Amino acid sequence: MSAAPQTVHSQGSGSHSLEARLIRRLLSSLGDPPIEFLFKWTGERVAAPATAPVAQVQVADRGALLGLLADPQVRFGDSYSAGRIEVAGDLVELLSVLYRSAPRDGADGSLARRVAGWLHKPRRNTLSGSRVNIHRHYDLGNDFYALWLGQTMAYTCAYYPRLDADLDEAQVAKMDHVCRKLRLRAGASVVEAGCGWGSLALHMASRYGAKVRAFNISKQQIAFARSRAHELGLERSVEFIEDDYRNIAGEHDVFVSVGMLEHVGPENYAELGRVARRSLSSSGRGLIHSIGRNRPAPLHPWIERRIFPGAYPPSIGEMMQIFEPSDLSVLDVENIRLHYAVTLRHWLERYEESVDTVRAMFDESLVRMWRLYLAGSIAAFESGELQLFQVVFTTQENNDVPLTREYMYPR
Amino acid sequence: MSAAPQTVHSQGSGSHSLEARLIRRLLSSLGDPPIEFLFKWTGERVAAPATAPVAQVQVADRGALLGLLADPQVRFGDSYSAGRIEVAGDLVELLSVLYRSAPRDGADGSLARRVAGWLHKPRRNTLSGSRVNIHRHYDLGNDFYALWLGQTMAYTCAYYPRLDADLDEAQVAKMDHVCRKLRLRAGASVVEAGCGWGSLALHMASRYGAKVRAFNISKQQIAFARSRAHELGLERSVEFIEDDYRNIAGEHDVFVSVGMLEHVGPENYAELGRVARRSLSSSGRGLIHSIGRNRPAPLHPWIERRIFPGAYPPSIGEMMQIFEPSDLSVLDVENIRLHYAVTLRHWLERYEESVDTVRAMFDESLVRMWRLYLAGSIAAFESGELQLFQVVFTTQENNDVPLTREYMYPR
């Protein structure tokens, strides 16, 4: 028998280690994605049968391997962040084949998916819970996000009128797409739920002449947004309010929320709908922009634990629990998931250019964790695991609605 | 005391009849719509307080009045059809104020609405049940529908690129809007579920060069569609199949269904989704066009009993039970309810022009029944009681999707 490393391709036990056989079973349960494992401490290689691997997963030690076998979704991310798992080849491609190979279930979801749902309740988004959850992600520091989000600091899916648009152009195009969908006019009053670093609110005021009240519970984002409003001389048009969307009051022409719904939690959708309904005049228009799914499923558990505590991307059916109980009328739903894949590629490219700065600000572990998150998100949007929905709505009684959607596409 | 007829405006019993007081209570429970009742046998008039009535409901006899009090929704329609209730004034306006005045409920729906839901189970759409239900409505005779549907014989919401488009233009524009959304190309294979009199299938073949298999369980509609295909020399491109959508087989580039979902029943949505999913190639596109609602509620019971047995217009949330269990990806939802109000006004206008012919074909009762149905439908779409949704979908894995929806709006 040769002592040279060999790749385990069959289910047969033969001369392969127990670990190799267990990884082989794991691959099989994942739909046999075309990837190869390398155990660095023995040189042994394991792959799904009859496929040319797109990338190699290099496991540094037996402990990391056992972790992977016990809880693959969470421990892959944790060991990758810790440098105990390395990837030779294209990280995005590796994660894409994992998403694409995963067996699709029947009508009720696979047992595994349902078990994952039971075990994995996202952290609840009560008023205080939301503050903790939002703080963990968004208060990593404005300087960190400024490295890779581009000039607008918009941390949501951009909109590419052409594939060769650059990130900043596409973020501005997204804001204009949203404003057009809302038929924003000079003097309109807008309330924004979850305003990030304030780019949309400022854009609505400076380019459309709107009066905006913008809510956010992230201290650092609000501080940043206020100082931008000051620099731009827009303090009279835009008010940044450090408060929860549930405390929004007053009647407005427009209700808008871009990239907040992911943090709201389905248990609060009916309340969000009541807030939106009471915020709108009878001819008011609303827009909610959110990551979503084709069917209900929990967020990837590693992302929910390490990156976005409390987050949940809903299906359209789940999103309707915002609108239906309040008799809001949905006028338009657009799915722009492929735009998010492009946006994320632009973010990842800028992130990699700034990786030394990130390492200096934090450590190698955060560098790797964030790289995995961005790459995995590209894979999720490209494979259709995640979607991006923009929903336009109005009150049931509003008949002041354009006949066609041509107004969204000026030329 | 004067013997002259007087209008009861207050809740006080005074000198008013028991019937008047009961009608007053009925009006109050309906949100006090601005309408007046006239009891023809006494000359007594009853109206909601402090409103100028938009129309007068003239009740011919005490029996009709008691029926109205016992089951207002169904007996209004039945007595109107029988000529025992007449309306002085604009019938559409009368029905509109009834829809607009109705109290809106809280989050879970009013008790009345829920009771209506329990008591009123639509007739089930099993394979044989569907045949009976569809026969009752669509097999009234092609000649009847030809009087008022216009040249296309399309019996679904048209699409008005401009408000001054006429009915035939708007029906052709609807077909083109659907074909554009589906990115229909020459040589594409299409399966259509519920093809009516065949206009869309024939349009797809003649204008776009598609190969279409079109399903319908209405014998008369299929016979009509086949003879049109023969006249147009399109027998090689379009096959009209007298069969249920559940028996659709084979893989296609396009799945389309315009105005069938109303007859499918929510209990069959998951199966419709499986049919759509298995009909589509991995880059296939689908479109479902249906009457819907802002929130789940049963169809108006008179319409369901006398006009559309077994029909149910779903909310978007309910419609998602087609797509979500089959991992279909919703790309676009458009709500064009106001187009249906215009379409119905065009139908009603043509219907009134042909009313003598309708009377000769059937009787005065059918003339009045159909007038009430068309007028009530205008009111339902104008008041937002009903919606019209077009949903475009594809497979989860399909990335061959245009970046923007500009392609739907060529200029």
Three-state secondary structure call for residue B161: coil
Place A17 in a pLDDT band, splitting at 50, 70 and 90.
very high
For the stretch B96-130, pLDDT in tens is: 999 998 876 543 344 444 333 334 445 567 666 66
Nearest residue of A to residue B158, measured between CA atoms: A403
Measured between alpha carbons, how far is B360 from B143 in angstroms, rounded to an integer? 12
pLDDT at B129 (0 to 100): 62
For the stretch A265-284, pLDDT in tens is: 999 999 999 999 999 999 99
For residues B164-184, b (16+ Cβ closer than 10 Å) or e, as one string?
A: ebebebbbbbbbbbbbebbbb
CA angle A65, A71, A73 (to 5 degrees): 100
Three-state secondary structure call for residue B216: strand
Place A411 in a pLDDT band, splitting at 50, 70 and 90.
confident
Residue range B183-212: mean pLDDT, rounded? 98
Residue range B52-62: mean pLDDT, rounded? 96
What average pLDDT does chain A have? 90
Residue range A212-219: mean pLDDT, rounded? 95
Measured between alpha carbons, how far is A369 from B368 in angstroms, rounded to an integer? 70
CA–CA distance from B317 to each of A78, A269, A329 (Å)?
37, 13, 12
Q: Report the percentage of chain A scoring pLDDT > 70.
A: 88
pLDDT at A206 (0 to 100): 98
Q: Which of B392, B396, B405 to mutate to test the interface with A (most CBs of A within 10 A)?
A: B396
Place A180 in a pLDDT band, splitting at 50, 70 and 90.
very high
pLDDT at A7 (0 to 100): 60
CA–CA distance from B224 to each of B150, B169, B174, B203, B313 (Å)?
15, 21, 21, 15, 27
pLDDT at B306 over 70: yes
Q: Domain boundaries in chain A?
A: 7-101, 127-408
Q: Report the percentage of chain B scoring pLDDT > 90.
A: 80
Question: Taking the mean position of all CA atoms in its chain, how far away is CA B12?
Answer: 40
Q: Which residue has the tokens 């259709």?
A: A384
- Are residues B404 and A399, on separate chains, in Cβ contact within 8 Å? no
Residue range A218-226: mean pLDDT, rounded? 94
pLDDT at A134 (0 to 100): 55
pLDDT at A107 (0 to 100): 38
Measured between alpha carbons, how far is B159 from B260 in angstroms, rounded to an integer? 17
What average pLDDT does chain B have? 90
Q: Report the percentage of chain A scoring pLDDT > 90.
A: 80
- CATH fold, domain A7-101, is Nonspecific Lipid-transfer Protein; Chain A (3.30.1050)
pLDDT at A51 (0 to 100): 75
Tell me if A338 sits within 8 A of B403, measured CB to CB.
Answer: yes
Q: Which residue has the tokens 């052409």?
A: A162
Q: Which residue has the tokens 């079973």?
A: A25
Distance from CA of B175 to the nearest CA of A (A): 15
For the stretch A132-172, pLDDT in tens is: 555 556 667 889 999 999 999 999 999 999 999 999 999 99
Question: Taking the mean position of all CA atoms in its chain, how far away is CA A165?
Answer: 21
Nearest residue of B to residue A163, measured between CA atoms: B403
pLDDT at B102 (0 to 100): 83
The tokens for B409 are 């709006």
Place B141 in a pLDDT band, splitting at 50, 70 and 90.
confident
For the stretch A33-68, pLDDT in tens is: 999 999 999 999 999 887 799 999 999 999 999 999
pLDDT at A114 over 60: no
Supply the DSSP string of A230-242, one letter for each residue: HHTT-TTTEEEEE
* Choice among A370-379, B306-315, B346-355 with the minimum mean pLDDT: B306-315
Tell me if B82 sits within 8 A of B367, measured CB to CB.
Answer: no
Measured on CA atoms in the order B91, B97, B103, B104, is the torsion positive or negative? Answer: positive
CB burial class (10 A; 0-12, 13-18, 19+) of residue A56? Answer: middle
Instruction: Decide the pairing of beta strands A280-292 and A387-395.
Output: antiparallel
B309 or A228, greater pLDDT: A228
What amino acid is encoded at B94 in this protein? L
* Choice among A169-173, B76-80, B104-108, B182-186 with the minimum mean pLDDT: B104-108
Place A121 in a pLDDT band, splitting at 50, 70 and 90.
very low
pLDDT at B139 (0 to 100): 62
pLDDT at A141 (0 to 100): 84
pLDDT at A254 over 70: yes
pLDDT at B146 over 50: yes
| Partners of residue A323 in chain B, C-beta under 8 Å | 294, 316
| Partners of residue B266 in chain A, C-beta under 8 Å | none
Supply the DSSP string of B93-153, one letter for each residue: HHHHHHHHHSPP--TT--HHHHHHHHH-PPPP--HHHHHHHHHHHHTT-HHHHHTTS-TT-
Distance from CA of A311 to the nearest CA of B (A): 20
- Are residues A330 and B335, on separate chains, in Cβ contact within 8 Å? yes
Nearest residue of B to residue A295, measured between CA atoms: B324
- Are residues B163 and A403, on separate chains, in Cβ contact within 8 Å? yes
B294 or A5, greater pLDDT: B294
Q: What is the 3-state secondary structure (H, E, C) of A349-392?
A: HHHHHCHHHHHHHCCHHHHHHHHHHHHHHHHHHHCCCCEEEEEE
* Choice among A115-119, A350-354, B256-260 with the minimum mean pLDDT: A115-119
- List, in sequence order, every residue forming a beta bridge with B143; answer none if it has no partner: none
- CATH fold, domain A127-408, is Rossmann fold (3.40.50)
Nearest residue of B to residue A334, measured between CA atoms: B332
